[in-house]
Amino acid sequence: MNLDKLEKTDLAMLTKMANTLRILSADMVQKANSGHPGAALGLSDIVAVLSLHLQHNPKDSSWLNRDRLVFSGGHASALLYSFLHLSGYDLSIEDLKNFRQLHSKTPGHPEISTQGVEIATGPLGQGVANAVGFAMAAKKAANLLGETLINHKVYCLCGDGDLQEGISYEACSLAGVHKLDNLIIIYDSNHISIEGDTALAFDENVAQRFIAQGFEVLDINGHDYEAINNALLKAKNATKPTLIIAHTTIAKAALTLEGSHHSHGAPLGEEIIKKMKENLGFDPNSHFEIPADVKIRFESAVELGDLAQAKWRQILQNSPKKELLNELLKPDFSKVEYPIFSGKDIATRDSNGEILNAIAKSVMGFLGGSADLAPSNKTELKGFGDFVVGKNLHFGIREHAMAAINNGFARYGLFLPFSATFFIFSEYLKPAARIAALMKIKHFFIFTHDSIGVGEDGPTHQPIEQLSTFRAMPNFLTFRPADGNENAASWQIALKENLPCAFVLSRQKLKALPQGVFGGVENGAYLLKESENAEFTLLASGSEVSLCLETAALLEQKGKRVSVISMPCYELFERQDKAYKKRLLQGRVIGVEAASANELYQFCDEVFGIKSFGESGKDKKVFAHFGFTPDKLCEFVLKADDE
């Protein structure tokens, strides 16, 4: 097809392509007796036209210079899977028939285990921010490798729900700041939400909102193929990010359910699907019907993608940036020269700042930033400049978007991002952290001001339950180092793990620890002090480890035999075998943490923690108020012994 001018035959083929997507999506949801047909049918015309514009290779879904396609409304997954199957990805017709079934390649919402799915989207709005992250990553990659190697676009399909979620505002505001002309967001504006018409709760002028954020805004009929095509041509040549407002009808062609909110999250029903098929020229008694000419048209993406990728490889072969690309793809972490903190009393946020800069010097793709807290988080990468030429990313006060944007950076394929904020504000980014864990991507979260040690800022800023929350998350490592050397060792482990990791760090100085006597940080917990036939073992992380050492000395003065365990990573300790745990956990085990710490009962007989919110005051006085002093902890241990 000549995209500059669509002919009548082209329009006829696009109609057939769109209707095939509709039929497949409707059949998938109906067979599963579960799913969301409305958005899929409403967006089919747009996806049919978009398929002509996408630069991708179904035979190699990891090609670096491919266009990224993000379905922010992940509930429209039936449409995405239909498109991927038709285009020639490793997704069979049987996979479509197994939609939403256990262990299928076609789960209810897109997951990266399915070939062709760029990023997992579930909670609405995440995908919009992910797309901004992809676009920022592409700009950074183009700066490093040149625009002859990196010149692709990022497309995002979103709906009313995505734009109602605050994360979309945060992310798009930043997209406007950076003038991301490689970002094209297509807004499926059908005025329908689960409860009915969007006017019940959403009547803002979306066009004006995005114009104010620095976007080019185009307004079209989302079922007019020429209008869709022209809008995409304009967007691809825009000098700023583009929002295409596509006015659509939910469940387009689904007869009595067309335009109804009842079509959002339930199968259309056999009778309606039969009549719809008949009206669209399909066999009403056939299921998962794919006309041969439609399949050929979609599968041309394979040949076109192969050709485009071959040309790209030739450019890469002759490019002076080839070695740089290899370094980005396969970073050598052994080159990092970690600072040594032996004998140095230092806040772990400060030691972490030194470690970040050491990593940044040796690992080309390492970058990141804070939610306007770099001076407090100690996360500035000194001398490395700001985005796009540099490594320091500035997110403003946008924790939620920061984490989702960095999920995009992590999934892009070249970068190792970190997101930083105060630990208490991790609540604002938890959904994106959870999606990072679900995908098992290398995204580092830096959380400073880790406890009641924050002091004067009071209970609104003092984390209590947050440590337990992150430790409870699958596929996630939470490091709470007790001194600078533990911090450095934690980073060496984190860089090698293919999981997101958090570093929970102190504002106040922590005393340097003595050399451990058995095990190490790589085991998650290790013996810092050992007494033969210990009556008590004190287990702690972070700032409470030094407290345990002081308390052990007091208890020994009273004739008690006490060992001390430092546990910088709860999850790594969980991984250890029974023999290792038994070697550490001797006598009566007392867990000590200035947090709720209920998870410590997995290893401990008693837990000395906090069962309320914090208090405002000097950090030492707040610790004393909650009993985190050697004398009070000593009393607790002896009382536990009496019981």
> What are the catalytic residues?
399
The CA angle 280-283-285, to the nearest 5 degrees, is: 125
Q: Find where tokens 């009382």 sit.
A: 639
Provide the 8-state DSSP code for 255: G
Please answer whether residues 549 and 575 qualify as being in contact, where contact means their C-beta atoms are separated by less than 8 angstroms. no
Sign of CA pseudo-dihedral 520, 525, 529, 532: negative
Residue type, 556: E
Give whole-number Cα distances, 348 to 393, 453, 455, 490, 621, in Å: 22, 12, 16, 12, 20
Q: Which residues of 447-456 are buried (b: 16+ CB within 10 A; e: fewer)?
A: bbbbbbbbbe
Of 541, 538, 542, 492, nearest to 630 by C-alpha is 538
Question: Could you tell me which of 466, 473, 459 has the C-alpha nearest to residue 625?
Answer: 459
Six-digit token pair at 374? 């770099």
Strands 196-197 vs 192-193: parallel, antiparallel or unpaired: antiparallel
- Beta strand 192-193 with 562-566 is unpaired
C-alpha distances (whole Å) from 233 to each of 153, 227, 438, 452, 571 are: 12, 10, 35, 55, 49
Residues in CB range of 591: below 8 A, 6 or more apart = 539, 540, 597, 600, 601, 603, 604, 606, 607, 608, 609
